[in-house]
Structure 1
Amino acid sequence: MGATKDWVMQVEESRREEWIRERLSSPDLEEDSEEWQLLEQDYDDYQDFLSDMAMEAYEDEKWLKQHPHTEIHNVAINLLEQIKEEGKQSTSEVFIKMKIAYIVTIMESCLSEMIKSIALSHNRYVENAIKNINELKAKNVPLSELINKESNANKYVQEYLSDILYHRIPLVLEIYKAVLQPKQYQRFPLKDINALMRLRHDIVHRNGKTTDGKTHTFNSTSLDSAFKVVEEFITQMRNMISDAVEHHENEQIVRDLDDKF
């Protein structure tokens, strides 16, 4: 092991010298010259910078693995921004109806992918789902499937979460709370998101009319409003996940410290 370490140090010193000599104003300058020492300091600073960048990239990757929902949320927000920009180019009622319906589709996809990704990120969320969702808690499983208990548990949880209708907001909230088990649930107003779900239902099933035959008004304001409501709602749901994950990670750190001492 010592020989390998010495070899690595020799290679590093060779690289440092080569880098410095390439930048010297004269090939006759040696290590005791002021220019050499300045370049040597520049090299070390550059290597520290590269090391810091690599560590930052590693930490970012690690964070994303622990918080995959944030990337899913970002993708959804970007899609919503595209729709908002497209909406400025057309005031057609048909176009606006289609876009409002599509905004809700983006919301449903985002809500679905965020909670499924979290369930995959740690066994605690699979266990929470099985313990707290009645349909999973009461599920009958053939004994033959218990041979690979963990992977089957993940499979059943993922299948259940995939089948949820994510425009059913009260159900979605209950599922999120069941899986996440947040330390405390911060209530937020649902009036606007529920109204948007009714509007989307009227668009899809009655071409923009209410059950009593009244026609909704569709204009750029309607589209902007739908965008704002969905953006706020999926951001609140993302924050619910982030708060729960942070709480559980802090709890794990405390448990690990207790185990050491």
Structure 2
Amino acid sequence: MSSVKEYFFEVERKRFLDWAGDRLDREDLDDESEAYQALAQEYSDMMDAYDQEAEYRWLERQSFHEQYIEFGVELRAAIMLLTHSEHGPYAQMTCKLVYAHAVTLLETMISTSVRALVIRDKAFLLNIAKHIETLHRGKKFTLLEIAEHPKGVEGVILKFLSELTFHNPATIKNVLCVLIGDRMKDLDVSPIVPICNLRHDIVHRNGKTIDDEIIILKPGQVFEAMNTIDVFASEISRRIRETLDELIGDF
């Protein structure tokens, strides 16, 4: 464990012991005691609840439009980084890092936008809830899961969405079709399929193909991929904006 991780681990442990010390007798602070274990679980659950609430409040502050603008700003920055590095000694590493990062930017934009829309309008929440098995075969939520979550159905759905991988083109298409409806059905994800596949090799195989061949990227390939990602994100943005305009027009 690195010294930084050790430091934060000790800080968190001290916070817990201070909290537990107000609730247990000194002899019960033995980490093998049942009382200690029960309180440790309670503390962990409490921290999880705080994290979920903080995430929820953050999503409430997000808007689809702002997410798209932020995506564009970050993508332009990635383009500039590669432009200034493409002839440098670490150009190949920069190409791979920027390539993977561009896909992550797309993933973040879509994931955050989807969850923010679920919070924004109950119609989007219901769309996901009604078609949950379309997104995850056999997935069901029990009444106990819903009752135990502080945010009820909304919280359970948001947690489910946060666990999906939005660098998978099939997942992107399925979620957007369920969330938005007919306007997303003819969304063409084929241009980003090879990009996402290559990103997987870069991130999960240390820049090698499934045949163990080292991937060599040229700056031009990365610029082309980023342009494809930009066009794809713009198309998603347009369709979501039209859907929101339609919802506003219905009132």
**TM-score past 0.5 threshold:** yes
Whole-Å separation in 1 of the counterparts to 2:128 and 2:185: 20
Whole-Å separation in 2 of the counterparts to 1:89 and 1:147: 48
Residue 174 of structure 1 and its aligned partner are, at CA, apart by 0.9
Equivalent position of 1:78 in the other structure: 73
- Deviation per residue, 1:123-170 (Å, 9 max, x gap): 11111111122259731122982998xx41211111111111001111
Equivalent position of 2:159 in the other structure: 159
- Asked if residue 90 in structure 1 is aligned to residue 85 in structure 2, the reply is yes
Residues 116 and 161, structure 1, Cα contact 8 Å, conserved in 2:
yes
Instruction: Point out where structure 2 has 5 or more consecutive residues left out of the alignment.
Output: 1-59
Tell me the amino acid that sits aligned with residue 70 of structure 2: V
Matches of residues 1-261 of structure 1 in structure 2 within 5 Å? 68-91=63-86, 92-134=91-133, 138-142=140-144, 145=147, 151-182=151-182, 184-185=183-184, 187-250=186-249, 252-253=250-251
Residues 84 and 224, structure 1, Cα contact 8 Å, conserved in 2:
yes
Provide closer, same or farther for how the CA distance between residues 94 and 143 of structure 1 changes in structure 2, counting only shifts above 3 A.
closer
Task: Give TM-score scaled by structure 1 length.
Answer: 0.64
Q: Whose Rg is larger?
A: 1
Provide closer, same or farther for how the CA distance between residues 66 and 247 of structure 1 changes in structure 2, counting only shifts above 3 A.
farther
Which structure ranks higher in relative contact order (CA pairs < 8 Å, sequence separation ≥ 6)?
A: 1
Alpha-carbon RMSD across the aligned residues, in angstroms, is: 2.6
- Deviation per residue, 1:191-250 (Å, 9 max, x gap): 320000111111123333322344433122022112112111221222221122222333
Task: Give TM-score scaled by structure 2 length.
Answer: 0.66
Tell me the amino acid that sits aligned with residue 242 of structure 1: R
Provide the identity percentage: 18
Q: How many residues align?
A: 185
